[in-house]
Every structure is written in C-alpha cells, then in structure tokens.
C-alpha cells in the first residue's frame, strides 16, 4: 500500500477524517518553509500538499499566486522543490506528500526525469490541475506506473456525464473543489458539499477530500463531517505572508487540524 492509502486506512480505523494542508514549497524562503513543513505532522497534518512554483497559476487566488512569486524570488524551482521533499524525508518517512501545480514545469524538466526524481525524493502523489483525463498518457499513466498516485480534481460543474471520465485512472484520493472559482475566493458550505460528496462516492471507492474555501477550524470541522478530509491552503499561506513565525503558523494549523479531526 502507498503512504496515502495507509494514512486513510489508519484514519478510518480511528474514525477520523483527514486534515490536509497546502503550502507553497520555499515560501517565504527555503529554510523557513522547511521548518514549517517539518512541523506539520506534529501539528496534526495527515497529508502535506506542496505547491510547485509556476509563473501563470490559473486556478490559484491572490494568496497562493503571491506565495509562488515569493518562492520564485527566493530561488525556488522544480528541482529545488524535489530537493525540499528529500530534505523533509530525512526526518519523516511516513507522512504522505502530494505535489500540486501545473504541467509546464514538469514538461520542461521531462516527464521521465521528473518522475524518477520525484519517486527518489519521496513524493507520493501529484495534482496537476491543467491536465485533463484526455491527456492521461502524458503524465498520469507513467506516474501511476512509478507508484505515484495521480489525484484528480472534481468541481461543482463536473456533471454525471463527465464524472466517470474524470474518475478514470484517478488514485490516492479525489479532491473536490467546493466552490466555482479560484482558491481563497469564498467560504465552503457543508450543506452544499454533502450531496456532492454522496454523488461522487456513487462513482468511486476512493476517499474524497474537500478544498477551496476552508478558512477556519469551524469550517474544517463542518466539511470533515461530510467528507473524508478537509484541505486548507490559502488561510495558512496568508499567515506566512503576514510574517508570522513558524511556531505561530503551526499553532494555527493545529487549530485547523483539531477542527477537522473532531468532526
């Protein structure tokens, strides 16, 4: 079993939903970012999503766009992001790590080179938001052949006709985008999300984690109560942008994790 599958199995045995945190790798700088990420598991994070820097992030709201710009300015790139994962793995070999971003940097590095390096570094999954299932042969299938999960996004506009195609070759978990629009744009609603989770579960046995629009421990609690996991990104990234210390950021993350785990 993969680290992701093991994590969901252990959480299920404990009767808990997952708490997934997103940070941009290298924001605001390599060392500070690594200190924060190394502290995430102790703060209650079950799965870590790391952003891959890209100059034209179409799905990201202002907070994550600015995080990417800070990381790029600090000298981050895809090669350094993979080194970042490898550095994390020197102290933690169990917490799943998912890289989230866009295909251009991967294509520029070369798919085979990227996947080999990602597997060696300890990457468990990929979320590549601009590669639809029609392009599975490009990255999804080679990734899965390497034992790296390919996690797909579903949205409120993914209708019943489209859903089976989106589920094709998806592994690890399903990431349900709770709102129409970019990250950090609005507040997620458990009442709206719940029937969508039920609808998607009819098409897949994979866990469903809900992201976009979760900003508080209370919302994390509510969303985790109707899904298999809650994902928070912008609200954490905004704390980093405000200049909070790693300890302060991790304190906020712990509050979010407690909210999700208490569902």
- Which residues have a catalytic role annotated? 49, 60
Q: What are the angstrom distances between the C-alpha of 148 and each of 97, 118, 185, 248, 258?
A: 10, 9, 30, 32, 28
CB atoms within 10 A of CB 13: 8
Tokens encoding 155: 């949205």
List all residues 6 or more positions away from 11 whose beta carbon is below 8 Å from its beta carbon: 17, 18, 46
Is residue 203 within 8 Å of residue 164, measured between CB atoms? Answer: yes
């Amino acid at each position: 079993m993969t680290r992701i599958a093991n994590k969901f199995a252990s959480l299920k045995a404990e009767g808990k939903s997952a708490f997934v945190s997103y940070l941009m790798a290298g924001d605001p700088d390599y060392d500070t970012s690594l200190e924060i990420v190394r502290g995430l598991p102790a703060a209650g994070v079950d799965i870590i999503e790391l952003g891959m820097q890209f100059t034209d992030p179409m799905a990201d709201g202002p907070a994550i766009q600015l995080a990417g710009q800070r990381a790029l300015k600090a000298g981050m790139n895809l090669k350094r992001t993979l080194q970042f994962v490898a550095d994390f793995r020197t102290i933690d070999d169990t917490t799943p790590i998912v890289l989230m971003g866009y295909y251009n940097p991967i294509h520029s590095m070369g798919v085979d080179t990227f996947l080999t390096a990602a597997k060696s570094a300890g990457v468990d999954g990929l979320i590549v938001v601009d590669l639809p299932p029609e392009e599975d042969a490009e990255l999804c299938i080679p990734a899965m052949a390497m034992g790296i999960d390919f996690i797909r996004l579903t949205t409120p506009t993914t209708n019943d006709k489209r859903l089976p195609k989106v589920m094709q070759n998806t592994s690890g978990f399903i990431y349900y985008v709770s709102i129409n629009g970019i990250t950090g744009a609005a507040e997620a609603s458990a009442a709206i999300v719940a029937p969508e989770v039920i609808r998607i579960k009819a098409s897949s046995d994979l866990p469903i984690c809900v992201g976009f629009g979760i900003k508080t421990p209370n919302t994390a609690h509510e969303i985790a109560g109707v899904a298999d996991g809650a994902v928070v990104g912008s609200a954490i990234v905004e704390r980093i942008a405000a200049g909070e210390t790693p300890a302060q950021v991790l304190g906020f993350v712990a509050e979010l994790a407690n909210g999700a785990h208490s569902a």
